[in-house]
């Protein structure tokens, strides 16, 4: 979202970005060394407050804007004030999980009614958003969009970083991790970079699978094949499967080959990407961008990602596609041995051109076009949902009181 705000502010628009309980490493200031060119408003809001706060308060805060864009629970907020989103940006679970509730109205517990209403608001907020900015996503997310019955237009999502910043190599030198990365670079002949949340295995749901274990096994293979070279992997302590990844590393005797870093600001680890030989993205779902793809591509690094498709389709992809452990092993070996060969360099150049066209220029053109159409409202739908919620809340309180006697 912050990158969209930057581009629109570049166009001369008055932009305000609301931060609602944002993680520090996702803060807009973590993405760039340059000052923000838009307004930033910290607005802590628990998800239940989206339905318990008065509509008047929400309208006073968010109804003042001509054009609304948002992520996470933004569709629910917008639907409640009767001014649906112009653009919804999906973060995965806000589309695959938030709009669906296991609860029913009139359950005898007020909090269940609130949870149900919040899910309904999210569902309808997504359905009636004018646009969704989303690239190809895992099937559970794509299927959720179909189930919701989204009625608007869909266009590509802008990268998670401000592309203009990284056109100047001297910017990289500002990284506070420069010395640490230089030290690690000196330890290995082949350095692989992997900044993907560690989520894999039977205890991770399908939406969040990243396939990190496949990369660890590929490192083991590469180490055996390149016994005369020092093979290294940089990865980050991020995700619910860190302990499993570390155990797999120990089981395969790779501790000397893997360097862990704590989660850091995006702007600071870009220097390490520039120093790496190969970058590896997610290894489970068919996804073209998302995760750290843009960060790798903007610095012209060869990228390996998962993608099951025909050979003809895969040739057109802006990365080296793999769809099995064996293919990952051999592809990583091939790229590591041919870093400066024309094939690898040409692919990196083409990937950057693709990203600029498909994920910067196209979505920006779509947003600029939609901005000319202005905002719209659906107060009738919003009023009806609010009345229904208040009615069921009233019944719930009665039932709860009766049950409590």
Q: What is the pLDDT of residues 13-42, one digit of tens each?
A: 999 999 987 777 778 888 888 888 999 998
Sequence ranges of the domains in the chain:
45-160+376-404, 176-353
Could you tell me which residue, 301 or 375, shows the higher pLDDT? Answer: 301
Could you tell me which residue, 135 or 124, shows the higher pLDDT? Answer: 124
pLDDT of residue 311: 83
Q: Residue 405 — pLDDT band, cuts 50, 70, 90?
A: very low
Could you tell me which residue, 318 or 167, shows the higher pLDDT? Answer: 318
CATH classification (class only), 176-353? alpha beta
* d(C-alpha 218, C-alpha 252), whole Å: 11
pLDDT of residue 250: 98
> How many angstroms separate the Cα of 258 from the Cα of each of 68, 117, 234, 336, 378?
43, 46, 6, 16, 53
- pTM for the model stands at 0.88
Residue 404, pLDDT > 90, answer no
Residue 377, pLDDT > 60, answer yes
For 341-361, what is each residue's pLDDT tens digit?
Answer: 988 999 999 999 999 999 999
53, two tokens: 């706060």
Q: Which residues pair with 232 in a beta bridge?
A: 191
Average pLDDT over residues 53-78: 95
Q: CB count, 10 Å around CB of 65?
A: 15
Average pLDDT over residues 155-163: 87
* Contact status, residue 143 vs residue 95, Cβ threshold 8 Å: no
* Dihedral angle computed from the Cα positions of residues 355, 357, 363 and 367, in that order, rounded to the nearest 10 degrees: 140
> How many angstroms separate the Cα of 35 from the Cα of each of 31, 40, 144, 165, 294?
10, 11, 37, 11, 21
What is residue 165's DSSP assignment?
A: G
Interacting residues of 101 by C-beta distance below 8 A, sequence separation 6+:
115, 116, 118, 119, 120
Residue 75, pLDDT > 60, answer yes
What is residue 12's DSSP assignment?
A: T
- Helix boundaries (H) for 27-177: 49-52, 55-62, 74-80, 93-96, 110-127, 139-148
What is the DSSP track for 356-370? HIIIIIHHHHHHHHH
Residue 149, pLDDT > 70, answer yes
pLDDT of residue 383: 92
Residue 223: its H or E element: helix 212-225
pLDDT of residue 369: 95
Q: Helix or strand or coil: residue 123? A: helix
For 257-275, what is each residue's pLDDT tens digit?
Answer: 999 999 888 889 999 999 9
């Amino acid at each position: 979202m912050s990158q969209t705000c930057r581009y629109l502010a570049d166009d001369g628009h008055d932009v305000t970005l609301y931060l609602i309980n944002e993680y520090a490493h996702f803060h807009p200031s973590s993405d760039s060394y340059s000052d923000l060119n838009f307004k930033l408003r910290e607005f802590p809001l628990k998800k239940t407050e989206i339905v318990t706060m008065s509509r008047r308060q929400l309208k006073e805060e968010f109804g003042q804007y001509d054009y609304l864009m948002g992520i996470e629970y933004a569709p629910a907020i917008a639907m409640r004030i009767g001014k649906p989103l112009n653009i919804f940006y999906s973060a995965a679970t806000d589309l695959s999980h938030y709009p669906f509730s296991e609860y029913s109205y009139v359950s005898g517990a007020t909090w269940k009614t609130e949870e149900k209403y919040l899910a309904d608001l999210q569902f309808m907020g997504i359905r009636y958003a004018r646009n969704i900015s989303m690239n190809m996503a895992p099937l559970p997310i794509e299927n959720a969009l179909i189930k919701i019955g989204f009625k608007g237009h869909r266009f590509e999502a802008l990268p998670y970083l401000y592309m203009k910043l990284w056109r100047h190599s001297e910017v990289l030198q500002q990284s506070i991790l420069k010395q640490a990365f230089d030290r690690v670079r000196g330890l290995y002949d082949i350095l692989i970079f992997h900044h993907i949340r560690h989520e894999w295995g039977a205890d991770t749901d399908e939406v969040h699978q990243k396939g990190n274990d496949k990369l660890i096994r590929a490192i083991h293979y590469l180490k055996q094949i390149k016994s005369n070279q020092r093979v290294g992997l940089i990865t980050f302590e991020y995700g619910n499967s860190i302990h499993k990844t570390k155990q797999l590393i120990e089981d395969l005797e790779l501790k000397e080959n893997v360097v862990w870093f704590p989660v850091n600001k995006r702007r600071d680890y870009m220097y390490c990407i520039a120093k790496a030989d190969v970058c590896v993205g997610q290894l489970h779902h068919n996804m073209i961008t998302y995760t750290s793809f843009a960060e790798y591509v903007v610095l012209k690094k060869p990228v390996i990602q998962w993608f099951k498709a025909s050979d003809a389709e895969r040739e057109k992809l802006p990365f080296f596609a793999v769809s099995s452990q064996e293919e990952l092993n051999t592809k990583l070996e091939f790229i590591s041995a041919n870093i400066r060969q024309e094939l690898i360099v040409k692919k990196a150049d083409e990937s950057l051109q693709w990203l600029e066209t498909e994920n910067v220029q196209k979505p920006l053109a779509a947003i600029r076009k939609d901005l000319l159409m202005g905002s719209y409202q659906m107060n009738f739908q919003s009023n009806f949902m609010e009345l229904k919620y208040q009615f069921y809340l009233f019944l719930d309180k009665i039932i709860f009181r009766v049950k409590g006697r």
